[in-house]
Amino acid sequence: MIKHKKNFKLKHYINYIGIGFVTILFSILSLTGNASISLQFLLEKIAISIILAVSLGLVVGFLGELSLGHAGFMCIGAYIGGKVSAMLEASLGCGISNLLISLIVGGIAAGICGVIIGLPALRLRGDYLAIVTLAFGEIVKTIFINTSAESFGGATGLSTPRYNREFLFIYAFIIVLIMLFIVQNLIRSKHGRAITAIRDSEIASRATGINVTRYKLLVFALSAFFAGIAGVLFSFSNYRVQCTKFDYNYSIEILVMVVLGGMGNITGGIISSSLITLLQVKLATLLSGNLAVLQNVLYALILVLIVIYNNAPRLKGFREKYSIKVLFNKIFKKKADPATVRDDEAKWDRVPTKINVDDLLSMDLVVTESVAKPDKGGEHNE
Amino acid sequence: MIDIINTFINGLSLGGIYAMIALGYTMVYGIAKMLNFAHGDIIMVGGYTLFVAIGLFGNPILAIVVAIILCGVLGVLMEKLAYKPLRGASPLAVLITAIGVSYLLQSLSQIIFGAGTKYVNMPNWGSITLGSLRIQVYTLVTLIASVVIMVALSVFIKYSKTGRAMIAVSEDRAASELMGINVNTIITITFLIGAMLAAVASTFYLLKAPSISPTFGSMPGIKAFTAAVIGGIGSIPGAMIGGILLGVIEVFTNSIPAIAPYTDAIEFTILIIILLVRPTGLLGKKRREKV
Amino acid sequence: MKKLLLSFMFLLAFVACFFTTGCGKSGNEIVIGLSGPLTGGAAVYGVAVKNSAEMAVEEINAKGGINGYKIKLIALDDMHDATKVSTNYASLMQQGMQVSLGCVTTKPGLEFSELSKGDNVFFITPSATNDDIPKYANGYQMCFADTRQGTFSAQYVNSNLPKTTKIGILYHSGDDYSEGIYRNFAESIDKGFDVKVASFSEDDPTDLSSQVQLLKDCDFIFLPIYYGPAAIFMTQAKDIIKKDAVYFGCDGLDGIDSSIEGFDINTIPQEVSYLSHFNSKATSGPAKEYIDKYVAKYGAETLNQFGASAYDCIYALYEALKQAAEKDPSSVTPDVAASALCETLKGIFQGGFTFSGITGTNIKWDKDGYVDKAAVKYVVKEKNK
Amino acid sequence: MNNNVSLPVLETKNLGVSFGGLKACSEVDITINKKEIYGLIGPNGAGKTTIFNLITGIYAPTTGEIYLCGEKINKLSQETICHKGVARTFQNIRLFNNMTVIRNVMVGLHNRKEFKCSFIESALRFPRQFKVEKAMREKAKEILRIFGLEEERNNLACNLPYGMQRKLEIARALATEPKLLLLDEPAAGMNPNETMELVETIKKIRDMFDITILLIEHDLKFVSGLCDRVTVLNFGKVLSTGTVSEVLNDPSVIEAYIGKDDE
């Protein structure tokens, strides 16, 4: 890898550096006994959110399919992984080996379900797929809630061992790093290119020889696998896995993180998932007593305002004048030329956020028959 | 046998309500090209309005009218304030805003009305007996009213100028704009109708089970969305069929104790099966991408 | 660009958050922590508990507090979501929680009982009824545990009803409280009864007509559910279920006549009764005083046994701490660690401590932390003649 | 021209497809030999694009067979047909708009044997990943150079002018190493200069890559300057086949196509 050193760009490694810095900083704080419990809990949650947001980002941002059932995969991971860890607790205790085995089993179980839910994705698009994923999540939830108390705990949830909180968040962040390594390399490679090509035009990618079936299943499986991993971490960070948590509202919450971070933008996903988690925890712990009702109002208002500010076509001029990027460029005297994406290699982790309206949410391609339609710019016969 | 008929009638009336909400979803979807996740919460607002209005006026009919108007206004306001600024932006951005609006409505209603359940004193019409068959009057009313509303809506869309403009906008927004249709007005009208239908649905809900809480609308919202998709989202007769199908299935699974806890799972499994067989729903247009 | 913008906005919020958390433990108050659903679907229970606890704390502070120290109650919102408990708990600990009311609802409560075990924080929950809540030595319940409610109800049925009675049960599947009671009830009633079971799975059911159809021939209908769904069931069943049937519930049914604004129990022709520790229609005694105070302060809408139980929890803690302070004043101060206070309180609760409040008199706790008090059958409404 | 005795690159026999009751095309027999540039002309709605869709596997034919170098391909998936050596462009351009020019071409290179790199190797960043990536980039630049697009390689595809987008689409198709290249109205929307340039480019790539080309075009000047043979379609049926001048003198063609041409 030495020969690539000349191409070293900070941008390539910003995610690793950021997460790595956070991990090391807080690990030191925690191991020297300076991290408060709430900080440790918060970091666990943030790590889980990051894994969820990045893995859902694979499906929504890179493959361009809308999934509203991500919590369902997490649920499977949490239950299967939690069950495994509970069974292993007697022989292995709640240590690193237990954690690893549970992570792998839970992740694979969720990954298999990812393939199963990826199958309809081959036939369905847009909202139809969205509702199937939503339905999948609800089905998983209903099945687990009705299990017997001995198998998966039923209504009161599955009792799982909790990992030592001083270490769990460190492992969680290491998993985040591993996941980023895999996801970013994949997206950067020819396979990632194929996936984004499918998003941009499925028909053209088929015609170019891309095996769309394979890649769709792959992305669904990988995304579900990581969601399952997040679920297993969740089971280790709670004493009980209760499936009421994994309803469609939670899936939507993950989707919010992905969308606010910018579709197909891994760094954005990491930032928005951390900040949303932080915001929620802070709102819940700060607004005690009678003020608690305000937290949802605040959260909802922040959400709506950010989305409108970031996306409203009318505010475009304003955004271009006053956004932080412009400010940043002014300070560092960088030229910003939106037409040219300079240095293709540097942009591997970020594909533009605009996904065609019809590709993602609707299927407007009303076609009567396959006969040719009037030429674009050609001669006009009749 | 009598039980089965009874259950079936109950299912039809629940289905009628689902259909009415699904109509709102499907129209907004077809015309504004967005999933209005806050639609379920309009039902909730309608419920609270009825609660307040019945308390104020005592007259249920007047209260229903007030609720319909208020929900219509809310629908339009929602569209103007939260969705219109995003016209032309990515539909996912609009989806997120809709979710935000939904949270906002829920928490505002908790602030205003408190967390507790409210009970709306809807008129009780009792039941009628046909042989050994006993049917609640509200069931019949719901059934008949929903059929009437659906027919009226279909006629409106098919024959009125506005209705045809709606079809045009849903087929091709840019082209209809060029043809002189005011797309903004059409979208506003769509939201108005959708919200008013939600208010009607809320009335029927309350006739059935007269209690409301801030989260009252979320599950019916999701169920109606499911119904709209089963029928083929964007299709008005599809929403009706989807709604009624879902209602009947729900009531039947609930009436068999062994599978009742799995009601949601069964409904959603049926949805998945239907979509796998017919990828665009029962009555959705089969679309082939043009190459 | 978007992400930077976004991060900027969030960072502002973030920084603001950190500035305001800096408060930590302030001054000389004994801190009682509580986590409950103050928003969302289960908010009515959390709000009732928070209001009542607040009311009790204010009264105690007006009387001069405990051992000369005022009490401070911190109630955080967990939205009935167990995953929010860990951060809430940590935040409470940071704010100096010394003793706790635990969680209002069971699901978060289970998480709370595990978390508090590590730090040995004493808690007495007003309303988390699951049997596992007082699993560890530091956990106590003021309400009846699920199994007990189920068996009490079954005993009542076994000893009071003729074997020819057709029994119906409507429970909320997927809800730990309802399922817990239902299972114990179903196991404990005599085999001779003809039992029909119906269930619903939504938290806020909107239509129970098929369940009504299923249970329409029953004479005695057991409703181990909360009053919200129960009111819907009763309304829908009004003309279908026999007029002389009996609806019988557990403490969740308490509030059916008072807490639903607009609902008139007298429009229901059947008899409605429940087994509980608190009667929200009490016409005399301390319960009546509590009801009057509560209604005057917060309105009747959130008046239910959850609140009453929370009110008693605070007073029980007050009495216990007072006893402890009499023995050793230095053991009850704002500086005492939660763990030390827990040992003190455990000593008192296990040492023959009895308490009389609005949810019962001579309340005792057994060695497992389960409450021992009388369950009384309250008839909310007699059947129409 | 027909002195090559080896198998024809493309042969369709009695090819037809109907949608519902509508016959989009029927009884189409076309034979294209190696290194031929073959034109498909006909009025709008004649079924030209439908034939492209049939060859590339987007539609399954109702009747008839398609052979590619003697191998039957009409039951295969689009991807497999592409792997067998058929690449195409689209009438309404379908580029990967959110990707840069060079990446569009690199997607075309995806399935080439020399750029094989498994999923695991990519995800875990094995050395081969870098080697392959670099080689792909070089190869893509090489292809872009032929079309004069090398300078634009880091632009987003959607930001290119129309003519360049058409060229890029051809470049992407070429990158898949096809035996047969299908061009759907490659000159549509181009000015006369660009069109002449395109004629040269197409001839150049035919010789350079040793491929056979089948194209749809309306511009008869373009067709006569480029195509060795043409087939005229009308209402989904073959009217006439032969060299351009032969076909243009066919009375049925004059009546059906040229006679109605408003130009």
Instruction: Give tens-digit pLDDT for A161-201.
Output: 888 888 899 999 999 999 999 999 998 889 999 999 988 88
Predicted TM-score of the model (pTM): 0.87
User: Which residues on chain C are in Cβ contact (under 8 Å) with A94?
Assistant: none
Burial (CB < 10 A; 0-12, 13-18, 19+), residue D109, is buried
**B121 domain residue, yes or no:** yes
Residue D2 predicted with pLDDT over 50: no
- Among A45, A89, A285, A309, which would you mutate to test the C interface (most chain C Cβ atoms within 10 Å of its Cβ)? A285
Q: How many domains does chain D have?
A: 2
Selecting from B116, B209, B214 the residue whose C-beta is nearest the C-beta of C261 gives B116
Q: Which of D177, D194, D227 is the last residue of a domain?
A: D177
Q: Please state the φ and ψ torsions of residue D237, each to the nearest 5 degrees.
A: -125, 155
Interface of B with C in 212-271 (CB under 8 A): 213-216, 218-220, 250-252, 254-255, 257, 260-264
Q: How large a percentage of chain A has pLDDT more than 90?
A: 33
Please give the pLDDT value at position D81. Answer: 92
Q: How large a percentage of chain B has pLDDT more than 90?
A: 30
CATH number for the domain that contains residue D254: 3.40.50.300
Closest approach of chain B CAs to the CA of C365, in angstroms? 31
Please give the pLDDT value at position D99. Answer: 87
Cross-chain residue pair D96–A181, CB shorter than 8 Å: no
Closest approach of chain B CAs to the CA of D94, in angstroms? 9
A280 vs B: CB within 8 A: no
Give the Å distances, CA to CA, from B225 to A69, A351, B26, B239, B260.
Answer: 15, 31, 8, 9, 21
Please give the pLDDT value at position B91. Answer: 72
User: Which residues on chain C are in Cβ contact (under 8 Å) with B211?
Assistant: 228, 231-232, 235, 260, 263
Cross-chain residue pair C262–B3, CB shorter than 8 Å: no
Cross-chain residue pair C207–B121, CB shorter than 8 Å: no
Please give the pLDDT value at position D172. Answer: 94
D3 vs A: CB within 8 A: no
Can you state the percent helix, strand and coil of chain A, rounding each to 5?
75, 0, 25
B184 vs C: CB within 8 A: no
Residue D176 predicted with pLDDT over 80: yes
Name the residue in chain D with its Cα closest to that of B290.
D92
Separation CA B8–CA B158 (nearest Å)? 31
Instruction: Give tens-digit pLDDT for B192-221.
Output: 999 999 999 999 988 888 888 888 888 888
Contact status, residue D230 vs residue D41, Cβ threshold 8 Å: yes
Class of domain C147-276: alpha beta
Instruction: Give tens-digit pLDDT for D29-51.
Output: 999 999 899 999 888 878 888 89
Per the model's pLDDT, the better-predicted residue between B268 and B115 turns out to be: B268
Which range, of B116-130, B265-279, C187-201, averages the lowest pLDDT?
B116-130
| Max avg pLDDT among A23-37, A367-381, C306-320 | C306-320
Please check whether residues D14 and D70 belong to one and the same domain: yes
Please give the pLDDT value at position A382. Answer: 30
Please give the pLDDT value at position C20. Answer: 43
CB atoms within 10 A of CB D135: 15
**B290 domain residue, yes or no:** no
Contact status, residue D10 vs residue D67, Cβ threshold 8 Å: yes
Which range, of C286-290, D21-25, D68-72, averages the lowest pLDDT?
D21-25
CATH number for the domain that contains residue B114: 1.10.3470
Which range, of A149-158, A231-240, B100-109, D63-72, averages the lowest pLDDT?
A149-158
Kindly indicate the confidence band of residue B172, based on its pLDDT and cuts at 50, 70 and 90: confident
- Among D77, D110, D141, D263, which would you mutate to test the A interface (most chain A Cβ atoms within 10 Å of its Cβ)? D110
Closest approach of chain B CAs to the CA of C90, in angstroms? 26
Tokens representing residue D247 in the block: 């076909």
Closest approach of chain D CAs to the CA of B84, in angstroms? 26
**B230 domain residue, yes or no:** yes
Selecting from A192, A209, A343 the residue whose C-beta is nearest the C-beta of D176 gives A209
The domain spans of chain A are: 13-271+318-360
Please check whether residues D191 and D144 belong to one and the same domain: no
Residue B47 predicted with pLDDT over 90: yes
Please give the pLDDT value at position B286. Answer: 63
Residue A273 predicted with pLDDT over 80: yes
In chain C (385 residues long), the average pLDDT of successive 10-residue segments reads: 51 46 61 88 85 93 89 89 87 89 90 89 90 88 88 89 90 88 90 89 82 88 90 86 89 80 84 85 84 88 86 92 88 88 90 87 87 84 75
Please give the pLDDT value at position B58. Answer: 82
Domain coverage including residue B123: 2-277
Residue D257 predicted with pLDDT over 80: no
User: Start-end ranges of CATH 3.40.50.2300 in chain C?
Assistant: 27-144+293-372, 147-276
Name the residue in chain B with its Cα closest to that of C171.
B261
Please give the pLDDT value at position B170. Answer: 84
- CB contacts < 8 A, A to D, total 180
Domain coverage including residue D150: 95-177
Please give the pLDDT value at position A348. Answer: 33
D262 vs A: CB within 8 A: yes
Closest approach of chain A CAs to the CA of B178, in angstroms? 18
Class of domain C27-144+293-372: alpha beta
Full DSSP string of A197-219: HHHH-HHHHHHTT--HHHHHHHH
Selecting from A156, A267, A324 the residue whose C-beta is nearest the C-beta of C106 gives A156
Closest approach of chain B CAs to the CA of C65, in angstroms? 31
Selecting from C7, C54, C87 the residue whose C-beta is nearest the C-beta of A271 gives C7
Please check whether residues D183 and D260 belong to one and the same domain: yes
Kindly indicate the confidence band of residue B236, based on its pLDDT and cuts at 50, 70 and 90: confident
Helices (H) and strands (E) in chain B, counts: 11, 4
**D220 domain residue, yes or no:** yes
Interface of B with C in 4-23 (CB under 8 A): 6-7, 10-11, 14
Interface of B with C in 106-125 (CB under 8 A): 107, 110, 114-121, 124
Separation CA B38–CA B236 (nearest Å)? 20
Please state the ipTM of this predicted complex: 0.87
Mean pLDDT of A84-103: 90
β-pair type (D212-216, D180-184):
parallel
Please check whether residues D190 and D159 belong to one and the same domain: no
**D56 domain residue, yes or no:** yes
Kindly indicate the confidence band of residue B289, based on its pLDDT and cuts at 50, 70 and 90: low
Q: How many domains does chain B have?
A: 1
Contacts of B259 (CB under 8 A, 6+ apart): B253, B266
Please give the pLDDT value at position C368. Answer: 85
User: Which residues on chain C are in Cβ contact (under 8 Å) with A353?
Assistant: 2
Separation CA A227–CA A254 (nearest Å)? 11
Chains A and C touch (3+ CB pairs under 8 A): yes
Separation CA C71–CA C74 (nearest Å)? 10
Kindly indicate the confidence band of residue B268, based on its pLDDT and cuts at 50, 70 and 90: very high
Contacts of B180 (CB under 8 A, 6+ apart): none
**B202 domain residue, yes or no:** yes
- Among B90, B286, B291, which would you mutate to test the D interface (most chain D Cβ atoms within 10 Å of its Cβ)? B291
Selecting from C38, C41, C199 the residue whose C-beta is nearest the C-beta of B260 gives C199
Q: Which of D111, D144, D177 is the last residue of a domain?
A: D177
- Among C196, C209, C213, C241, which would you mutate to test the B interface (most chain B Cβ atoms within 10 Å of its Cβ)? C209
B114 vs A: CB within 8 A: no
Q: Which of D162, D177, D192 is the last residue of a domain?
A: D177
Which chains share 3+ C-beta pairs under 8 angstroms with B? A, C, D
CB atoms within 10 A of CB C292: 10
